Amino acid sequence: DDHGDDSRDTAAVVDSENVSPAHPTGIYIPSMSKQTSSALNIALYTPRDAIFESAVTQEIRVEERRKIEAEYAEKHALQMKKIELEFQLRLAEEMEVVQKDHRALRQQFQTELNELRRKLTAYNDETDKLSAAV
């Protein structure tokens, strides 16, 4: 059979009116009923598609888990910082009370020491007067 220069492989011929940019091959697929379309999608769903979908799903789960863990870590860090600040505030308040008590005790001891010095000086003066009189 001589087909001449006009012979073409019919599988390679694509009618320019039937090209669909939505289809990966660019070949026009006429509209089908939902039932036929669903059956076609199931028929076209291969084990490779299932593996790919599973891998993508796993990757999404891992990424979501990382995000959740990061959020928990951030919340934990903030909670620990809050606890640390509360502890420092309580410590500062207690230190203020201790320092106040310390100042009061120091003042009391200083007053008692001054009184004892005064009494000692008075005693020494009395002793010196008695010694001079003898």
Task: Render pLDDT for 34-70 as a digit per residue (tens, 0 to 9).
Answer: 555 555 555 566 788 888 889 999 999 999 999 999 9
Percent of the chain whose pLDDT exceeds 70: 66
Q: Is 26 a residue whose pLDDT tops 90?
A: no
pLDDT number for residue 71: 97
pLDDT number for residue 10: 41
Q: The whole model's pTM is what? A: 0.43
pLDDT number for residue 106: 97
Distant-in-sequence, close-in-space partners of 18: CB < 8 Å, separation ≥ 6: 27, 28
What CA–CA distance (Å, rounded) separates 115 from 121?
A: 10
Beta bridge partners of 19: 27
Q: Which two structure tokens, joined as six digits, stand for 44?
A: 């076209």
User: Residue 28, exposed/middle/buried by CB under 10 A (0-12, 13-18, 19+)?
Assistant: middle
